[in-house]
Structure 1
Amino acid sequence: MAGLVPFNRRTPDILSDPFDDITNVLDDFFADVWPFRRSLVADTFKIDVLEDDKNYYIKAELPGVKKEEVNVTVDEGRIQISVNKEENVEEEGKNYIHRERRQTSMQRNIFLADAKDEGVVAKLENGILTVTVPKKEQTGKAVPIEIEG
């Protein structure tokens, strides 16, 4: 038991060696499951997609993100949720020797074949973005195809 190593135990930081990423690639390659597990280091925000008869409901976990930092677009059933967050705190009277900033840019794309482009509603509340996408009405008409030959 002492020889067991947790999956992707190395995390990138300022002092990390660029060859540490090779260890994560090897961990993914020799994992017991196929396809490979996604690396937790390069992961983006989590989403859930639910549906009922009339709508799709997309829920995205965006803790600490303001609505001004989120962009939601719909184009012919392609829903894109993107986040651009920049942390920059200005403090006067401080004598910094070293100071870092963080800028985060993430996006997720979802294709919903029978989604309408009109009537989409997005709401960000308590770190959860909920996007309600109406469905197109199903005609239910089968079109007969003539067979040649």
Structure 2
Amino acid sequence: MASMVPYRSVFGLRPATSLFDAFDDMMDLASAPMSTKAFPMDVEDKGDSYEVKAYLTGVSKDDIDVELNEGRLSIAVKVEEKEEDKGKNYLQKEFTSYSATRGVYLKDAACEGLSARYADGVLTVSVPKIVEKKNVTKISID
């Protein structure tokens, strides 16, 4: 039953089962900037379009920036701590201001017809594919 209790140490490390686990955790902690967080993202090929889902639980729609630049779809989030939260006497506080950016390259993404919606903490971006035009015209003979 004790294994079901979540473990948090002062440094956010999990209990190590070996020296290698402890070393890996310390290296991950050292290499990650403290003010950034990653968010999960799914990219699905729907045939004539792409559907990108970013899971942004707890983020306001106004804190999200989405852009497509030469086939690269970028989703950026910038969340800032509210002024009324500063100066309170917290026993434990895990929310801080942070920013995160994720991107994916969609080689045949069209610049027209893009749409995005944000509901229940999930940002869904639909990116149509470029319709390839053929420059060959069949000419009938009279």
TM-score when normalising by structure 2:
0.64
Mapping of residues 43-54 of structure 1, within 5 Å = 44-54=38-48
Q: 1:47 to 1:99 in 2, by over 3 A?
A: closer
Q: 1:10 to 1:72 in 2, by over 3 A?
A: same
Q: Could you say which residue in structure 2 is the equivalent of 1:129?
A: 123
Q: Pick the aligned partner of 1:67 from 61, 73, 76.
A: 61
RCO comparison, higher one (Cα < 8 Å, 6+):
2
AA of the residue aligned to 1:73: E
Q: Pick the aligned partner of 1:88 from 79, 82, 90.
A: 82
- Quote the RMSD (CA, aligned, Å): 3.7
Q: Could you say which residue in structure 2 is the equivalent of 1:23?
A: 23
Separation of aligned partners in 2, 1:62 and 1:122: 14
Q: 1:91 to 1:102 in 2, by over 3 A?
A: closer
SS for the counterpart of 2:62 is: helix
Mapping of residues 4-23 of structure 1, within 5 Å = 12=11, 23=23
Q: Structure 1 regions of 5+ residues with no counterpart?
A: 1-8, 14-21, 29-38, 142-149
Alignment length, in residue pairs?
Answer: 114
Separation of aligned partners in 1, 2:123 and 2:109: 18
Cα deviation, residue 140, structure 1: 6.4
CA contact under 8 A between 1:85 and 1:104: conserved in structure 2? yes
Deviations 1:12-66 (A, max 9, x none): 36xxxxxxxx8236778xxxxxxxxxx8x97610000012222100001000001
AA of the residue aligned to 1:12: F
Separation of aligned partners in 2, 1:59 and 1:44: 14
Separation of aligned partners in 2, 1:11 and 1:132: 42
Separation of aligned partners in 1, 2:10 and 2:45: 36
TM-score when normalising by structure 1:
0.61
CA contact under 8 A between 2:37 and 2:98: conserved in structure 1? no
Deviations 1:54-110 (A, max 9, x none): 210000100000110000001111100000001224169x87499977111000011
> Post-superposition, which runs of at least 4 consecutive aligned residues in structure 1 deviate over 2 A?
9-13, 22-28, 94-101, 138-141
CA contact under 8 A between 1:88 and 1:102: conserved in structure 2? no
Higher share of residues assigned helix: 2
Q: Could you say which residue in structure 1 is the equivalent of 2:49?
A: 55
SS for the counterpart of 1:102 is: coil
CA contact under 8 A between 1:48 and 1:59: conserved in structure 2? yes
